[in-house]
Amino acid sequence: MRRNTLFFAVVLLALALVAWAGWVNFKARSKGCRLAAGQQSAMAVQGKPAPPFTLEDLSGKKVSLADYKGKAVMINFWATWCTPCAIETPWLVELRNQYAAQGFEVLGISADDLDRGDPARLDAEKQGIARFVRKMQIPYPVLIDGDSISQPYGGLDVLPTSFFVDRNGNLVAEQDGVTSKEEIEGKIKKALGE
């Protein structure tokens, strides 16, 4: 009788262990691969130099990250088809205007596809980006062809994605998706060294 009780207790304990393992596994998976990836990526970029890049703005002028040496920079990847980007952009405009005097700049980088081989389509695509810039009254530089420089930044699985660069050119924070104006402001302050 006593042996049987012990036997069932051991089996129950083992089953409980299996259930616990399953639950822990489920919870870990349900956090989603994007979140896990984003966190790892964020941890991976901290303190590293921001990958250098040069892109054109809508007028064809070449703009480099190196042009902003000594400034804190927010590199904001977005696209015209990205509805959450349209929510975030007015916050960026306000924060850029608020912190510009302290040496802060936003570089908006459009990830919209560009048909370089089709001048008519390319023109229409540029016009679409320009329409977004006008509608949002964006005062900071907006660069195009963001996909071409996205790999050193880990690729663009989601938009908006932003990277925060300190005055020494090092990455200090990252953000995937829209969170809140307050969270972005916190990361801007970190980039400014406040």
Partner 1 sequence: MATKKGIRIAVVLALISGAVLFQGQSSLMNRSGRSGSTPPAVEYLYPEQVTLPAGKPSTVALHFRVAPGLHINSHTPREEELIPTTFSIPEGSGVRLDGASYPHGTEFALSMDPKTKFSVYTGEFVIMARIVATVGNHLVEGRLHYQACENNSCMPPKTITVAIDVIGK
Q: Confirm or reject binding of residue 82 to partner 1 (CB under 8 A).
A: yes
Among 132, 140, 163, 164, binds partner 1 (CB under 8 A): 132
Q: Confirm or reject binding of residue 162 to partner 1 (CB under 8 A).
A: no
Name, in order, each residue with C-beta under 8 angstroms of 56's C-beta and a sequence gap of 6 or more: 62, 63, 143, 144, 145
Q: Are 171 and 49 in contact (CB under 8 A)?
A: yes
Buried b (16+ CB within 10 A) or exposed e, 134-150: eebebebbbbbbbbebb
Q: Confirm or reject binding of residue 44 to partner 1 (CB under 8 A).
A: yes
DSSP per-residue letters across 87-114? HHHHHHHHHHHHHGGGTEEEEEEE----
Among 69, 155, 168, 193, binds partner 1 (CB under 8 A): 155
Among 55, 72, 73, 85, binds partner 1 (CB under 8 A): 85
Among 40, 46, 97, 148, binds partner 1 (CB under 8 A): 40
Q: Quote the Cα angle for 27-32-35, to 5°.
A: 115
Please state the closest distance from residue 123 (CB atom) to partner 1, in A. 16
Residues that bind partner 1 (CB under 8 A): 3-4, 6-8, 10-11, 13-15, 17-18, 20-22, 24-26, 28-29, 33-34, 36-38, 40-41, 44, 79-87, 111, 113, 128, 131-132, 150-151, 154-160, 176-179
